[in-house]
Amino acid sequence: MSEACLGVIGGSGLYSAPGLENARELDVSTPFGAPSDQLVEASLAGRRMLFLPRHGRGHRLAAHEVNYRANIYALKAAGAEQVVSISAVGSLREELRPGDVVVVDQYVDLTRQRANTFFEAVGVVAHVSLAEPTDAALRLALIGAAKEAGANVHERGVYLCIEGPQFSTRAESQLYRRWELDVIGMTNLPEARLAREAELPYASLCLVTDFDCWRANEKPVEVSLVIQQLRRNAALASQIVRHLVNRLPDPRASPAWRALSAGLLTPESSIDSAARSRLGVLLDRVLGESSSRD
């Protein structure tokens, strides 16, 4: 069983992680700015864990305002070796009902104005593979943990990420159903892309809160309805994470663990000191520098 450190990104309604032991707050600075909040380093069932509220405590940041690069970089710099995203989503399928859990395996990106790579304006080019954007072993561990917590679990799904902050129009929601997508949210991209560039195995635990607005005879999604379901979902999410820590796979066995090594096009001899400084821990292992993970 791996002793790898788990990073957890808490979404809407999950701004703290109850039940943690020896918790302390970490101020982590990054070359990409400040993360959404302080990281919480703690133990859970004897395992080291890092928790970060995606929107900041008090939900201060809308999805399009989140500094995703800083969040992923901060988790990696603090020692996270795999990342689980906990996210509220709307359902685009009748069988995916509020209160259900969907462990998605694919994403479609409709965001428009988000920084979605670490590799820009640094003179370094990388093309990592995203054919399978979630980690298979981490997904299986999440599925098992969710079932152990008593959740109604759907083991696959396609997550559509929209820009927000507005919810969909009814025409958009109906279009997304015709595209055969499953759930809709505003945050998991560029998060999954950046996690892959950071060589962090990543998986999404999606908690259904509503049916978006595709049901013509039903009141469309609004914040008050989402909040009611979020309160119930937050307790379930905490139970799932508690079960998950005893099921964690070895991140070194993941294809993500060497994704940047395989995707870096710029030769080491052409990477200057400014680029090395900005990319920091992302390049440690790739360039053979000292790394606490090796």
pLDDT digits (tens, 9 = 90+) for 176-198: 999 999 999 999 999 999 999 99
Which of 87, 15, 19, 25 has the alpha carbon at shortest distance from 50? Answer: 25
What lies within 8 Å, CB to CB, of 141 at 6+ separation is: 203, 244, 247, 248, 249
In the prediction, which pLDDT does 15 show? 61
6-272, CATH topology level: Rossmann fold (3.40.50)
Q: Measure the CA–CA gap between 197 and 98, rounded to whole angstroms.
A: 33
What's the confidence (pLDDT) of residue 127? 97
Residue 3: CB atoms within 10 A of its CB come to: 10
Catalytic residues: 210, 212
Each domain of the chain, given as residue ranges in start order, spans 6-272
Greater model confidence, 4 or 210: 210
| Average pLDDT rounded to a whole number, residues 120-145 | 97
Model confidence pLDDT, tens digit, residues 66-91: 999 999 999 999 999 999 999 999 99
Residue 277 contacts residue 31 (beta carbons within 8 Å): yes
Q: What is the mean pLDDT of the chain?
A: 92
Q: What's the confidence (pLDDT) of residue 230? A: 78
Q: Each residue of 92-110: pLDDT tens digit?
A: 999 999 999 999 999 999 9
For the entire predicted model, the pTM comes to 0.94
294 has a pLDDT exceeding 70: no
Q: Name residue, tokens 């969907």.
A: 102
pLDDT band at 219 (very low <50, low <70, confident <90, very high): confident
